[in-house]
Amino acid sequence: MKPKVLIIMGSDSDSPIMQEAEKILKQFNIPYDITVASAHRSPERVVQLVAGAEKKGVEVIIAGAGAAAHLAGVIAAHTILPVIGVPIDSSPLKGVDALFSTVQMPPGIPVAAMAIGKAGAKNAAILAAQILQFKNSSLSKTLKAYKKKMALEVLKKAKKIQKRY
């Protein structure tokens, strides 16, 4: 199947974080490509991946990077597709550098910033599904079911923990 989402991570060491996005895309049955490209060490590759993605019909790009996380911004500079940025906690500054680098984009070039780390990677995939639902209405059902299931899981956990004293 043609990929609908392209996940790019700035370094292979970001892989354990970005797997959270993969899990959701698989669970939601959304075809995706995942690869590594650095905005700084392989800038041409980033531009080529973005151009290639547009040709293949990719509709959302997810970029995960740490430190001076320029990856999502550089991708957004080269496309009109929605770009979702996942700041990664991989420097002594605990991800606040990656967050500021990802979210503080100048007017004209948006990046949809997610939370730092695993929560952000997972949410990037859910946001991708929320965007893709407009051309794939089965995704709307999947998302509604997922939302219900989350509420039920909270309830289940509540039942285990709750008590009265």
* Shortest CB 65 distance to a copy of itself, Å: 9
Q: Other CB atoms closer than 10 Å to residue 59's CB: what's the count?
A: 19
Cβ-in-10-Å burial (0-12, 13-18, 19+) of 64 comes to buried
Residue selected from 53, 62, 63, 126 as contacting a copy of itself according to rule CB under 8 A: 126
- Spatial distance between the Cα atoms of 103 and 56, rounded to a whole number of angstroms: 27
Residue 119 Cβ vs a copy of itself, minimum distance, rounded to whole Å: 4
Cα–Cα dist 12/144, whole Å: 33
The identity of residue 52, as a single letter, is G
93 binds a copy of itself, rule: CB under 8 A:
yes
CB of 135 to a copy of itself, least distance (A): 5
d(CA 97, CA 92): 9
Binding track over 19-58 against a copy of itself, x by CB under 8 A: -x-x--xx----xxxxxxxxxxxxxxx-------------
Is there binding between residue 102 and a copy of itself (CB under 8 A)?
Answer: yes
Determine if 62 is a binding residue for a copy of itself (CB under 8 A).
no
Q: Please state the closest distance from residue 55 (CB atom) to a copy of itself, in A.
A: 14
Q: How far is the CB of 66 from a copy of itself (least distance, A)?
A: 8
Residues 144-163 contacting a copy of itself, CB under 8 A: 144, 146-147, 150-151, 153-155, 157-158, 160-163
Instruction: Give CA–CA dist 148/161, Å, rounded.
Output: 20
Between CA 16 and CA 24 the distance in angstroms is 14
